[in-house]
Structure 1
């Protein structure tokens, strides 16, 4: 338990999807510190004994549980919720899966695949992948957001103006996130915790891992934010930068097709140089390689680059 926290939100206090009619798990004053016992995005479906066949039995009505919601006293539409992300306590186990029909290259990777991860939750030493790979870890919450003003139940999968499934790796410990409030009380929820992810999360999953998250919630009155914004405490890629990168590119007039080409190029490169299967290369890219828009002004073609950290195989 968090000795310095005002509230603890337990794993059973979760919900699926965004709905501003869900009763709050807690009412808190601005400035309160809360510990969330977050479930993984599979809602505990996978274990250390899981097999690839378990991918096909995943219940998609029970994925991406988020803990909350939290009613912040005095929050009104037009305000911003200030979320200081203080710490993560991971569980030491995680999973990555290729889920048929999901992911950037779903048309190419049609069969299920599963990678299981065991890592040191105290030291966060790089997690082993196969015989030679070691993935640096950086815990963060993939889903972090507020209830939208529009009534009814909304899927937790797509990100929204009020946050949600943002999957921004840099929403890690020390970062401060600002979210636009659309409903009274803000109704904050958090979940989908990851031990590591590449920018893009191309196969649709990262190192999905249950963990405890501590945040402080405060208000910025009349902020009138159009979209979420955040501030990081320092460099954001230091855990990956030490040995440089292998980089593939995609070039074309369609940004999505250029992105697909860059990722396909990296999968081909890893298969050719590291002896990985295409499925393993795809999942490994999803947890540690970063997509970047390198050029978007020299029409009619744009450039997308895909950075794979060489430290993984050092």
Structure 2
């Protein structure tokens, strides 16, 4: 089986179906992506908070690719298996006034930057305290790519900042090594890209940003017409079940939530043989609704997570 590589310099700043692919592969092949952090290399382990004032925001959240997958056609589903992901030995978290869920409450604050040391052997990210000292913090490292998506079928260039029904900046912390992402294909070849490495993140939030090397295997599926937004099969979750998750992506939080449930009903009917009524009741009894991404406007990502243990014989 062929293994291909996408280098750090091979990236772009918009989802655009007219972009020429930097790599052409067959279904079933594996690609390793070497990705800069979301600052596009502008923040380094020695950066200070003042560095945020000079950031070129037009180059943030770049994604590496695109990769053309042969036989992928509109209406298909692209299965993306996360085989491995490795962080750098450092990461950063920033506060940008006027950005995020509480942007109005922090609009008057000065930019803030925290540099984390990542110990890959222990699996911990360590922040040694704020300016002039402060409490040291340790966070368990569970790396994933915040950006994983395919080109939109719509005309034009679409910012990599928000998430879309085709993926992109979904910032979903469950897409760690061992998990599988499913994306709806809207253009010939799919044109997949990824980036925005995260060492750790809570549901809905921002992350410890870090450069990553990630290996992904791509498979074109022809029999999953219910995949209209990103779906994923989450594995390797500490003290949790395996989950199959459907998402809703919408600028209206309620509509995103309704869509996530609706897509789960469609999945349960198609794959588990339930009636729509039984599927709806199961969502209420066993499904977990979670806010996966709430900071990259205008769209929210809400997940309906179904524990697969409910189907155990």
TM-score (norm 1): 0.72
Consecutive unaligned residues in structure 2, runs of 5 or more: 130-134, 241-251, 255-288, 292-313
Aligned runs of 1:106-255 on 2, under 5 Å?
106-110=103-107, 111-130=110-129, 131-201=135-205, 205-224=206-225, 225-236=227-238
Deviation by residue 1:203-223 (Cα, 9 ceiling, x = unmatched): xx3100001000000110142
CA distance in 2, matches of 1:101, 1:6: 42
Task: Name the SS of the counterpart of 1:196 in structure 2.
Answer: strand
- Contact 1:82/1:176 (8 A) holds in 2: yes
Shifted more, 25-34 versus 113-122: the winner is 113-122
Change (3 A) 1:25 1:237: farther
- Contact 2:126/2:136 (8 A) holds in 1: no
Which residue of structure 1 aligns with residue 49 of structure 2? 52
1:63 aligns with 2:67: no
CA distance in 2, matches of 1:255, 1:196: 24
Deviation beyond 4 Å, 4+ runs, structure 1: none
CA displacement at 1:51 relative to structure 2: 1.1
TM-score (norm 2): 0.72
CA displacement at 1:236 relative to structure 2: 5.0
CA distance in 2, matches of 1:232, 1:5: 26
- Contact 2:180/2:232 (8 A) holds in 1: yes
Change (3 A) 1:236 1:229: farther
Which residue of structure 2 aligns with residue 311 of structure 1? none
CA displacement at 1:125 relative to structure 2: 2.6
Change (3 A) 1:233 1:23: same
CA distance in 1, matches of 2:239, 2:126: 17
Task: Name the SS of the counterpart of 2:51 in structure 1.
Answer: helix
Number of residues of Structure 1 aligned to a counterpart in Structure 2 = 238
CA RMSD of aligned residues (A): 2.0
Task: Name the SS of the counterpart of 1:195 in structure 2.
Answer: strand
- Contact 2:116/2:125 (8 A) holds in 1: no
Correspondence for 2:69 among 59, 68, 72: 72
